[in-house]
Amino acid sequence: MTGDRGVAISLFSGAGGLDLGAEAAGFTVRAAVEHNSDAADTMEKNFPHLRSPVIRRNILEVCSGEILDAAGLRPGQRPELLVGGPPCTPFSKSGFWLEWKRAGLDPDSSLLQAYTRVLAETRPRYFVLENVYALTYNNSASRPSFERLQREIRAAGYHYDLRVLNAADHGVPQARPRLFIVGAPIDEPRPQLPEASHGGIWERRHTGHTHRPHITTGEALAGLVTEPEPSENVGGRYGHLLPDIPPGENYLHYTTERGHADPQFKWRSRYWSFLLKLSPDKPSPTIQAQPGPYVGPFHWDNRRLRVPELKRLFTFPDDFELVGSRNSIQAQLGNSVPPHLASRVVKAMVGDLDDSQDAADTQDLFSTTPQDAAVG
């Protein structure tokens, strides 16, 4: 469903996860700004309602008038929705050991201001902003930027709701916490983010809704028929260790503390994701955009995840076409917002989240009927 709610414009579009959610909620994505050429190609291949080609320049060089013109909006017209997830480099937990990053000196942080500039200049009826939850941390890198972001949203004339949402708590088979901010002009009702629809154990505590369990990777991948990929085997120094690691566990299997007869690693000497293997009985851990050679999650069949499997674990449609190399596709998906979560966010924001229909939509996401899935 698209078009009933009006025109949406997309910033930092990536592979279009937020955009799919917006269109599922009834908006039509008419214009997009995305600097990465593969991601821009992906957008153009999958979003037929784009009125103009994707704007493929650094957003700092793109004026709001050009974006509105690309969407077919005349002077004085405003979009109904602005969506975007500015790159998370400055605030991601990854790399916080770098002094310049802890000090908040990453120039990419200015991309948050690019978003609020377009917000103030285009005056959409609603907006959705997504970012890593580390932006909310009380440290010298994150806190000033987070407070500035909120000041600029208020200065643009909007009130808002913000919360860290774990994708697994919203029917996505992946534990993926991200910050979401939804807003509307202060003279309109204050929008709300969705409450959890599912629940389970995450990081040794219970999260989400207590009556509907998290969707597992086994459920998500059931019936999916895929072809082997050339780069799926895990070799090198540690690849041979993967087969003996039980599903759901990681390199700690090979430690003295776990009772291994031939320990290979010291306790907590690696990142949690090192040699991490999926469990079919749990949601996937967070899937990264640029994993190292031994960074999971790996499939319980002792290989890297295939593209159709990645799409399922992010809730992209099976027929969604991703453009680029295997590494580029991993990056596009790893940086994306799961479309099902995006749909829930947008529907809740506009007051159109129907719990019974959402439950049916979630059930339909993962068919148990065997089907072929071509590599994107």
CA distances from 31 to 34, 77, 81, 114, 253 (A): 10, 14, 11, 16, 49
Residue with tokens 């290979």: 264
| 298 phi and psi angles, rounded to 5 deg | -100, 160
Which has the closest alpha carbon to 132: 182, 81, 166? 166
Interatomic CA distance for residues 9 and 84, integer angstroms: 9
- The one catalytic residue in 29, 88, 111, 287 is 88
Peptide bond into 339 cis (omega under 30): no
> CA 80 to CA 16: how far, in whole Å?
18
Cβ–Cβ < 8 Å for 207, 200: yes
- Tokens 């809740």 belong to which residue? 348
Given a contact cutoff of 8 angstroms between Cβ atoms, the answer to whether 202 and 167 are in contact is no
Checking phi first, is residue 54 left (phi over 0); if not, alpha (psi -120 to 50) or beta? Answer: beta
* Tokens at 196, concatenated: 């959890």
Task: Decide if 88 is catalytic.
Answer: yes
Cα separation, 264 vs 245, in Å, equals 12
Contact 223, 368 (CB under 8 A): yes
**Encoding tokens for residue 346?**
């947008």
State how far the Cα of 317 lies from the Cα of 365, in Å rounded to an integer. Answer: 8
Place of tokens 């902003």: 129
With contact defined as beta carbons under 8 Å apart, do 86 and 12 qualify? yes
C-alpha–C-alpha distance, residues 226 and 220, integer Å: 14
- Return the DSSP state at 174: B
Which of 342, 339, 338, 344 shows the shortest CA–CA distance to 359? 344
Q: Which residues are catalytic?
A: 88
